[in-house]
Amino acid sequence: MNALAATNRNFRHAVRLLGLDSKVERSLMIPFREIKVECTIPKDDGSLVSYVGFRVQHDNARGPMKGGIRYHPEVDPDEVNALAQLMTWKTAVADIPYGGAKGGIGCNPKDLSSSELERLTRIFTQKIHDLIGIHTDVPAPDMGTNAQTMAWILDEYSKFHGHSPAVVTGKPIEIGGSFGRDAATGRGVVYGTEALLAEHGKSIKDLRFVIQGFGNVGSWAAKLIHERGGRIVAVSDITGAVKNPKGIDITELLNHRESTGSLKDFHGGETMDPDELLVHECDVLIPCALGGVLNRENAADVKAKFIIEAANHPTDPEADEILSKKGVIILPDIYANAGGVTVSYFEWVQNIQGFMWHEGKVNKQLRRYMTRAFQNMKNMCKSHDCNLRMGAFTLGVNRVARATLLRGWEA
């Protein structure tokens, strides 16, 4: 089942639990706006090349739309639609005043020089500048984009609208980015994990963790878990996988990857088959990479008691059912990885106020938001006698539905 079908299925289940009207259901499902633009740029060799750029703006009942811009050769419109919708529910679960959006350009950033990427980003911004904005739609980095991409968007947008640092988040610190933004998603994953474990009378200290994906989110989560006394027994990324039953020294692993660009040949652990990582012996499994990695083929063999969905849509609905029957507790993606968008919100607030926060305040507020959202999600689980995924979906969908009805959607 693809990401869009799975998101729609979870959404419809939440609608049934909430007893929402079919007209409201249809209204909440259909995107507010879908934008598709042609972006033609001169390459460094003087030839012209065209790319297709797009933006799906899903819902703005609770505030400006919010979501990443990705540069990837196989940008799938269905997946982007699903991720835009997921952002609507995610921002509502975190209780930040946004709706959902997502977008990008169908290109391979590895094939483009820095100057070509800059030209492409500026052309894309020229095409959509009147459809994004501080109080309309606020983009952020995603797959294949970064703080530099956001700086180019800010600069190009500001040519049309005056200096507008709040038009994008995930910017470099020097031009209005927030302290703590780089670690935010991984830190949010750890705060969410602490809240879940506390509910079951446990703590991170001395539990065994497996982390799939060692990019920004996975490496920050690993570092913070290691600092809290958690034992990380296996880690993987696209370069390979490492295990050590006594626990991997994450600082050493980060240094090794920094110097070699790979997890291979790390002396603090043994090499393992990356395919076996998800079913490795552990207490807590944290998938931080791709969607659909837990499916009906491997779900029955998962040994973890808790799964923390740091990636978007890592668990297929079929796997969800198998894992639930085994008694595995899953902390859903729309809550677990909401730390990034929460600190993006803090960045937006700081830019609007023109008053920047120190990192301690950012982290303290992030913990407050993640802890509060967990309690709200648990309350929905009790009200509707459902698991955490449906607790999160009912919480998010209900908030958006209420905002939609209060604003007078039939007018």
Catalytic residues: 102
Look at the block and give the residue holding tokens 């492409």: 120
CA–CA separation, 84 and 92 (whole Å): 13
Check whether 110 is labelled as a binding-site residue. Answer: no
Q: Annotation-wise, does 185 bind a ligand?
A: yes
Helix (H) or strand (E) holding 82: helix 77-93
Measured distance CA(54)–CA(77) in Å, rounded: 9
The Cα 140–Cα 161 span in angstroms is 18
Residue 90 known to bind ligand: yes
- Nearest partner of 243 among 206, 204, 289, 282, judged by Cα: 282
Identity at 269, one-letter amino acid code: G
Query: Is 146 annotated for ligand binding?
Result: no
Alpha-carbon distance 31 to 43, whole Å? 34
169 is in an annotated binding site: no
Distances from the Cα of 325 to the Cαs of 193, 319, 370, 384, in angstroms?
21, 10, 27, 19
At residue 148, what are phi and psi to the nearest 5 degrees?
A: -65, -40
- Strand order in 240-243's β-sheet? 270-272, 240-243, 231-237, 208-212, 284-287, 306-308, 329-331
Alpha helices in 245-354 (DSSP H): 250-260, 317-326, 333-336, 339-353
**CA distance linking residue 177 with residue 166, whole number of Å:** 9
**And the tokens for 257?**
């990857």
Which residues does the annotation place in the binding site for substrate? 66, 90, 344
Which residues does the annotation place in the binding site? 66, 90, 185, 216, 344
